Chain A
Amino acid sequence: MTYLKRRAKRSHKVLPALALSALSVGSLSAIGTASAAASSAPITLTILTHINPPTQQALATLDAAFEAKYPNIHVQVSAVATGSLSTVRTTRMAAGNLDITEVSPFYGASYPSYIKGQPPNVWAELIAANKFLNLKGQAFLKDWNPSAIQTVGAVGKGIYAIPSGTDIFTGVFYNKTLFAKYGLSVPTTWDQLMHVCSVLQSHGVPPFIIGQKDGWPAALPMYAIEQDLYPTLASRWALEKAIWTTKNAYETPTAVAVLNETKAIYSYTIQGFGGIPYADAPGEFAAGKAAMTPDGTWSEPTIAQANPKLKFGYFPLPATNSPSVNAQWGGKYDISWSILNSSKHKTAALEWMAFYSDPANYAKFISTSGFIPSEPNINSTPFNNSLGVTNKNFSTNFSIIAVSEANAPQQAGFDYLDIAPLGKAYTNMNQLAAVEQSAWNSAG
């Protein structure tokens, strides 16, 4: 199945497009904002993102409305596999045939002062090399929550990206029908969660399914556990600093507890989950192959579409025995959009951003994409509303803060990839923590 948005190219003349492009580039500084009237010459605006069906659907609706308003502009969205995004972006940036691209939020563009000797952050290099258009001063920036713009787009004195929204990935989708069938209720403590798993397994129902073949989804339950065992943003920054400035951060009791709880989750996950593609997991869950799946809220539309009759919910994975600590959500800003300075259609790209940022259009985008809105006074989806996310119970996850050591064999954070049955299949978490600490120390 492909989610690549393919649109038949409209016939258009190349020379007028190039002429418009040249005019656009030349007159950009004079335009200043995205309010310029579109020329009548046909152009194709190219956008690159990664495959995410709800986002592609939301973009298709948005772009259709945009094209209706600007008949001369055809929007062409390329959605590529997550693993290929960097490759495609690099080659298309080199080829100069890309106007708007998905980027990571730029909050990693500079390292904390205690991190030394690492290769320069590529985002920072690209911005320093003037690769992205500075959006500062654009009227549409006022539509967004200032904190969102600051977080995803601010580097130095410029603004280089706008967000799509936030999502949560410290929760678990659960099958309400299966829970009801076995008399289970949503767990709010770690012990209750283990009880739920035990009951499900005793009835031959795999408690969890994870699509780990892609190499990263098994991190999701671990991220949720980190969120509770390091329950404040300050404690996560302290962990990050300790990893870089001490020699035993991975071997502390709390760190080993993260590994032990992650091991417990894996022991209740469907057998062979290391070989299940991530794209298959939501569908398998929707088909009733397992009672729960740790995943991000971005998968909610996929699950709902895979089985419209499925009754399912989402709860924060409880990693402690304190319900109040477990009630918090962790997540991140998702896709951010930047305009390339090499774009031949900067004016059209700014028009697109202004159209996308317009609260009326953004509200429609949110209703399909499933993101939690980053603009004020926008209604989220019923699903997101049901989560009750507020500024008080949402905070950035540790995985977003962590900075990897370039020479270390593992990414920053805990080595979930070697917990049984994955990787080297460690069952003794103290031993695994010692191995990871040793590898980290020797890499520095």
Chain B
Amino acid sequence: MPAKTGNGSVRRNPFGARGRGGFTPYVGFAPGMGLFVLFLFLPAVAIFYFAMTDATGISGLPIHFIGLANFREFFHNSSNYQVIERTLVYAGVVTVVQNSVGLGIAVVLNGRIRYRTFIRTVVFAPVVLGVTVTGLVWELVLDPTAGPVASFLRVFGIHSAFFGSEAIAFWLVIAVQIWMGMGFSVAIFIAGLQTVPPDLLEAAATDGASAGQRFRRVTWPLLAPCVTTNVLIAVIGSVTSYQLVYVLTDGLNNTSVLSFAVFLAGFGQATGTGTVTQTFAEQGYAASVSVVQFVLTAVLAFVVLGYLRRREPTL
């Protein structure tokens, strides 16, 4: 939007410079913008085109324009609706639990407790482990024959296949995702809590506010930007994340989510009976699934952002 000068006239250059020097800022950010367009914007646009082709990803094979056939194929398969539903559940549970528990931990760790720094480090550690290490750790912990959890449950006569069980595998993946991302949420909340002016809290205490009232009336409103950041990161991250599903279950036992479906279609993973099945990539179809995922992510992000942003100015 054109900026207005002090006398109300419209100034076309948002950087304020006039004449030949007015181009200088554009020259400054042109390389960055160029890289963005080249490596992010154009590929993103290309995805919409590829979504309407039968591209396989193997060079040399002909690529045909097939209109909306990939989308029809996706929505014709009833199991894909379960994948979408699972993706929404995954994003919802991860976002709510990770942030609510993370906030609680942050509040505790922001207080004066012993070994605070050490505990913060422990809480944050899973974030730096990475997906593969996290997957290996939890596979060992939940090994159905020799893992510690299985051994403990066996004492009570309980047996489980854990990641091999259709009944609980999905919830276990969610739990591991929360475990892995919790430290990040806690770190952001602690940073936010440390920006709350102590004098406001002291004033509230002087006025007789209880600890709960101080949190609800002072701390919580001032944490709004942190909540927005954390929630957005969790929503977008969980909708677009497939790595944990890949490492822990390979999408089996009803754990596949949209992003994993994109990966599966795009890179031709072998599925089903391993003795005979060999599949190749269907990158055109994968592109169409990623478009569905993009729309879902965008809708969720705009709704969440719209709500949280509206909440911030009212504080």
Contacts and interface: CB of A to CB of B under 8 A. Distances in A.
A33 to B, nearest CB: 26
Interface residues of A, number: 56
Nearest to A85: B270
A60 interface: no
Contacts of B56: 90, 122, 125
A84 B144 CA distance: 24
B165 interface: yes
Nearest to A418: B166
B268 A86 contact: yes
Interface stretch (B71-79, B94-102, B188-196, B298-306): B71-79
A343 to B, nearest CB: 13
Contacts of B229: none
A90 B274 contact: no
A421 interface: yes
Contacts of B79: 409
B243 to A, nearest CB: 14
A271 interface: yes
Residue with the highest number of chain A CB atoms closer than 10 Å, among B58, B162, B167, B269: B58
Contacts of A87: 267-269, 281
A313 interface: no
Contacts of B139: 277
A271 B150 CA distance: 11
Interface string B248-272: 0010110000000000000111111
A93 interface: yes
A90 B267 CA distance: 7
A169 interface: yes
B57 A86 contact: no
A421 B58 contact: no
A424 B276 contact: no
A289 to B, nearest CB: 7
A399 interface: yes
B159 interface: yes
B37 interface: no
A275 B272 contact: no
A275 B252 contact: no
A404 interface: yes
A276 B164 contact: yes
A269 to B, nearest CB: 11
Interface residues of B, number: 45
Contacts of B253: 274, 423
Interface in A258-282: 270-278, 280
A399 B273 contact: yes
Interface string A401-415: 000100101010100
B212 interface: no
Interface string A181-220: 0000000000000000000000000000000111111011
A85 B273 CA distance: 14
A214 B274 contact: yes
A126 B59 CA distance: 10
A90 B144 contact: no
Interface string A27-48: 0000000000000000000000
B163 interface: yes
Contacts of B273: 216, 219, 399, 411, 413
Interface string B265-308: 00111111111111111000000000000000000000000000
Given A90-B267, A125-B61, A423 B275 contact: no
Nearest to B59: A94
A82 B276 CA distance: 11
B28 interface: no
B209 interface: no
A220 B28 CA distance: 63
Given A94-B57, A272-B164, A332-B276, A215 B145 contact: no
Contact of B269 (A83, A131, A275): A83
Contacts of B275: 169, 216, 219-220, 223, 296, 332, 399
A215 B144 contact: no
A422 interface: yes
B160 A104 contact: no
Interface in A410-444: 411, 413, 421-425
**Across the A-B interface, the 10 shortest Cβ-Cβ residue pairs:** A272-B144, A274-B164, A275-B164, A274-B161, A275-B161, A86-B268, A275-B144, A216-B274, A271-B159, A87-B267
30 contacts: A85-B270, A90-B280, A90-B281, A91-B267, A122-B56, A122-B280, A125-B56, A129-B60, A212-B164, A217-B274, A219-B275, A223-B275, A270-B145, A271-B144, A271-B159, A272-B144, A273-B164, A274-B253, A275-B162, A275-B163, A276-B144, A276-B145, A276-B161, A276-B164, A278-B274, A332-B275, A332-B276, A400-B276, A411-B272, A413-B273
Interface of B: 56-62, 73, 76-79, 139, 142-145, 150, 159-167, 250, 252-253, 267-281
